[in-house]
Homo-oligomer: A and B are copies of this chain.
């Protein structure tokens, strides 16, 4: 397309890029498949998984916080959150300082499901990491970070702390 722009960029052919794109597509399917099976049994979907994950990650986080990370509308998140609260997986406490806010926590039951989902997803990730080796893992992370939207990358890196 733009020819060879010199340097050691020979690996950036259309073909290499297309393979990268397809790899991303297929790998993501594998990535979600194990949790999906578990969620199915419980009558939940991926949206519930994401909520459980990030509430577990940052207990006491607010709905607004979660919205920024998940990148969906508050109405969409609210539906999911409502079922999780009704089913006793999530506890939603009115803020003490600001009563408009709701602080979210996992209940014991919620923690249990989150753990099951995380275990399944981590098992696949662990197997992939082991098979690929430490250097590949570092490269994997590097490319993924470079692919994120800048604002999201910021969230991602803050979550590291």
Contact = CB atoms under 8 A, between A and B. Distances in A.
Q: Is chain A's interface secondary structure helix, strand, loop, or mixed overall?
A: helix
Number of copies of this chain in the oligomer? 2
Interface of A: 8-9, 11-12, 14, 16-31, 33, 50, 53, 57, 71, 118, 121-122, 124-149, 152-153, 155-156, 159-160
Contacts of A131: 142, 146
Contacts of A16: 129, 137
22 contacts: A12-B126, A12-B129, A19-B141, A22-B156, A23-B145, A23-B156, A24-B31, A25-B50, A26-B148, A30-B149, A31-B147, A124-B147, A125-B147, A127-B146, A128-B143, A129-B143, A132-B142, A132-B143, A133-B142, A139-B140, A139-B142, A140-B140
Residue of A26, A31, A121 with most chain B CB atoms under a 10 A cut-off? A26
